[in-house]
Amino acid sequence: MEKQIAPVIYFGGDYNPDQWDEATIRQDMEYFKRCHINYVALPVFSWAKLEPEEGVYQFEWLDKILSIIWENGIYVCLATSTAAQPEWMSKKYPEIMPVDNNGLKRTHGMRNFYCVNSEKYRERAAAMAEQMALRYKDFPGLVAWHVANEYSTFCHCENCEKKFRLWLKKKYGTTENLNEKWNTAFWGRTVYDFDTIMLPTDRNDDDKFFPAKQLDYQRFVTDTTEECFLNEANVLRRITPDIPVFSNISGFIKKLNQFQLTRNMDFAGWDNYPSPKDDSAFPALKHDIMRGLKDGASYMVAEQSPNQQNWQPYNKLKRPGEVRLLAYQGIAHGGDSALYFQMRQSVGGQEKFHGAVISHSGRTDTRIFREFEQLGEELDRLGGQILDARTKAEVGILFDWDNWWALENCSGPTCDMDYLAQVAHYYRAFHRKNIPVDIVKFTADLSQYKMIVAPLAYMMKEGLANRLKAFAEQGGTVVGTYMTGLADENDRCVFGAYPGPLRELFGIWVEETDALFPEEQNGIRMEDSGKSYVSGFLCDRIRTEGAKVLGRYEKDFYAGEPCVTEHAYGNGKAFYLGTQPDAAFLDDFLGGLCKERQILPVLDADEGVEATCRENQNGKFYFVLNHDIAEKTVRLPEGIWEDLTHQCEREGAFSLTGRDVAVLKKKGESER
């Protein structure tokens, strides 16, 4: 059982009160109350202020601020503040400073500028965490620990290199074994001594041209970042065993294997900064990934932007209603919070133009502040009833970090390889239909699903092939794609034709794969309907060995050859897509499979309305989110429904204005 995050939906976010005087802080408390803000995270970057010289701590200013915050009934997530070490520390212990990919030893400055493998950094960070925990263990407002901030530093220092060698020695035992697993016979890279192995960097180009080594380096960085997190978390847990501990995940989730990193956290939490160009499905997918990290447990949306950002190339304002819409989208997918960076806009520094709940104007009669007042009031009314509510999905989409890294480390077949974008392409087909999806690990138990979609499951590892076969055997529907079953966990390709261990499942083998130029297209012609669709990206030349052909290529020298196949396997079926079909194909094809398997949408609503459902002992909560600016209709199943957002009753069809949201619960539905 995960530790329960909170008794309420946390609403608030990063507060940096060490930047202001007491009068401003007291004023902020009044403003916060007007928005029903119940949670602040601090002091994320205040190590320099807390430890002015080694072993000398200065907590009085923080004591004061915390007491003002708690006097006002606001919960506190205390950050250990170790994301930016003090300048004196970097000077005194240069080993803390990271070395970049070009071999440049960086000097003090940026945040997240430390080597996660520096023993000195770890020693000082653990000491800081210990001081914090000892000082505030009895602070009544403390609800969570926030360790560091958005881990993401890839260091290439000598110390990291030494540790990497030890890591490899532990993993492979002998150089012979490593040589075999890394296939070092290629380009004469035979290793005779672990101590001569170099980190993959831009200087040796091993980060681009030695995929097996690069993959292990990415695993090594996750392992050692995990150690770095545990270095602080263990101290905190010893002193405050009942307070949950986490670290916020950056929205750029590729860098570290988050399945692994979050296994030691009491909950997952992430920072959601969609690009203004993202459609509504992309953040939805990332939320679902977050829910998948801890097997369906609710998570924290630890940061969002209250308005524009400062670091996008063009920092669009959040459109009216957008902050509220995005907040509900996070909750709709399994988040138990709506948290923001930042509460008050800083007067100077790199983020001075980043949006905030309270802007430089200091006024409350602003568009954004009013939106926070409304959102706060609504979330306050919802109270704790939806906390920890789960999503029930019958479709699982497989997702994996090793697979992601290995696919994108590949030279060929195309430079346009983007695993997350590919996963999103398939995810969108379900999102458009409001069919709930779980994002599942390659190692997960699949038995609870009716359908498993495995986009580009390139790397067969940890028994995945057998689990997929067993799933189909027992009646499951599997959908696989091009770039499946090509390599093992060391990125060594399979012999005996792709999709390797899944040949038997799909009843096909792939003879060769053609890459298309971005502007180039092929077509899929379906055998039964005669309907045509557009395809692109890659085209597998498929040879069937038991599978039935459902669709054939329309162009090129392989026109007329199979590109969509179906294979009966045990009590189930396995479908293979040899090329990337367009959205229309996926709507028809996956829509058809869902119908066949009786996988139903959450609710019936116009296009542009997202609908999800979360369920707990208090009942089923339906979320409807109109991502369009035009009014849209939602058609409710029979019965009287309580609209918890608009505080009214609904029956049959009702309309939602542009960007409006409703949380609904059927009246009279018995609570479990």
Q: Please give the residue ranges that form the binding site for Zn ion (CB under 5 A).
A: 115, 117, 155, 157, 160
The catalytic position among 51, 226, 232, 303 is 303
**Is 47 one of the binding residues for ligand GLA (CB under 6 A)?**
no
Residue 649's beta-bridge partner residues? 642
Distant-in-sequence, close-in-space partners of 174: CB < 8 Å, separation ≥ 6: none
Choices 302-310, 412-420, 450-458, 466-474; region in contact with ligand GLA by CB under 6 A: 302-310
The least CB distance from residue 291 to ligand GLA, in Å, is 19
- Please report how the helices 419-433 and 583-596 are oriented relative to each other, as an axis angle in degrees rounded to 10: 60
Mode of pairing for the β-strands spanning 572-577 and 562-569: antiparallel
Exactly one of 341, 405, 509, 537 binds ligand GLA (CB under 6 A); that residue is: 341
Residue of 28, 51, 150, 266 that binds ligand GLA (CB under 6 A): 150
What is the spatial distance between Cα 348 and Cα 350, in angstroms, rounded to a whole number? 7
The full length of the chain comes to 672
Find the shortest distance in angstroms from Cβ 248 to ligand GLA.
6
Which does residue 157 bind out of Zn ion, ligand GLA, none, counting CB within 5 to 8 angstroms by kind? Answer: Zn ion
Number of residues that bind ligand GLA (CB under 6 A): 10
Q: Closer CB to ligand GLA, residue 46 or residue 309?
A: 309
Q: Which stretch binds ligand GLA (CB under 6 A): 56-64, 301-309, 544-552, 593-601?
A: 301-309
How far apart, in whole angstroms, are the C-alpha atoms of residue 318 and residue 629? 13
Q: Which is nearer to Zn ion, 115 or 125 (CB)?
A: 115
Out of 288, 303, 388, 491, the only residue in the binding site for ligand GLA (CB under 6 A) is 303
567 contacts ligand GLA (rule: CB under 6 A): no
- 154 or 341: whose CB is closer to Zn ion? 154
Helices and strands per DSSP (H, E), number in the chain: 18, 27
- Indicate if 150 belongs to the active site: yes
Decide if 623 contacts 613 (C-beta within 8 A). yes
Q: Could you check whether the bond before residue 313 is cis, i.e. omega within 30 degrees of 0?
A: no
216 binds, among ligand GLA, Zn ion, none (CB under 5 to 8 A by kind): none
Contact 338, 305 (CB under 8 A): no
Using only C-alpha atoms, what is the Rg of the chain? Answer: 26
Among the listed residues 150, 226, 371, 566, the single catalytic one is 150
Q: Judge residue 55's burial from the number of C-beta atoms within 10 Å of its C-beta, 0-12 exposed, 13-18 middle, 19 or more buried.
A: exposed
Which two three-digit tokens encode residue 529? 């309907």
Phi and psi angles of residue 129, each rounded to the nearest 5 degrees, phi first: -60, -40
Question: 373 an active-site residue?
Answer: no
Q: Which of 216, 271, 388, 554 binds ligand GLA (CB under 6 A)?
A: 271
Nearer to ligand GLA, 269 or 523 (CB): 269
Would you give the distance in Å from CA 371 to the centre of its chain?
26
* Residue 115 site contact among Zn ion, ligand GLA, none (CB < 5 to 8 Å, cut-off depends on kind): Zn ion
φ/ψ of residue 375, rounded to 5: -60, -45
The Cα–Cα gap between 652 and 646 comes to 16
336 binds ligand GLA (CB under 6 A): no
Among Zn ion, ligand GLA, none, what binds residue 160 when CB lies within 5 to 8 Å by partner kind? Zn ion
The span from the CA of 344 to the CA of 357, in Å, is 6
Residue 336, contacted partner among ligand GLA, Zn ion, none, CB below 5-8 A by kind: none
Task: Supply the residues annotated as catalytic.
Answer: 150, 303
Residues found near ligand GLA in the complex (CB under 6 A) = 149-150, 271, 273, 303, 305, 309, 341, 351, 354
